[in-house]
A and B are shown apart, each in its own frame.
Chain A
Amino acid sequence: GAVVSQHPSRVICKSGTSVKIECRSLDFQATTMFWYRQFPKQSLMLMATSNEGSKATYEQGVEKDKFLINHASLTLSTLTVTSAHPEDSSFYICSAPSRALSTEAFFGQGTRLTVV
Chain B
Amino acid sequence: GENVEQHPSTLSVQEGDSAVIKCTYSDSASNYFPWYKQELGKRPQLIIDIRSNVGEKKDQRIAVTLNKTAKHFSLHITETQPEDSAVYFCAATLDTGRRALTFGSGTRLQVQP
Contact = CB atoms under 8 A, between A and B. Distances in A.
A103 B42 contact: no
Contacts of B93: 103
Given A32-B97, A34-B100, A101-B96, A43 B89 contact: yes
B103 A44 contact: yes
A97 B97 contact: yes
Interface in B53-109: 89, 93-106
A108 B43 contact: yes
Contacts of A108: 43
Contacts of A112: 41
B12 to A, nearest CB: 16
A97 B32 CA distance: 13
Interface magnitude class on chain A: 20 to 34
Contact of A46 (B41, B98, B100): B100
A95 B101 CA distance: 10
Contacts, number: 63
B41 A91 contact: yes
Nearest to A110: B43
A105 B99 CA distance: 10
A88 B34 CA distance: 28
B44 interface: yes
A29 B93 CA distance: 21
Contacts of B43: 93, 107-110
Interface string A20-49: 000000000000101010000011111001
A5 B93 CA distance: 23
Nearest to A44: B103
Contacts of A36: 100
Given A34-B100, A103-B94, 16 more contacts: A32-B98, A44-B44, A45-B103, A46-B100, A46-B101, A93-B43, A93-B44, A99-B97, A101-B96, A103-B32, A103-B95, A105-B34, A105-B46, A108-B43, A109-B42, A110-B42
8 contacts: A43-B89, A43-B104, A43-B106, A45-B103, A46-B102, A103-B98, A103-B99, A105-B101
The 8 nearest A-B residue pairs measured at CB: A107-B43, A34-B100, A97-B97, A43-B103, A46-B100, A103-B95, A44-B103, A103-B93
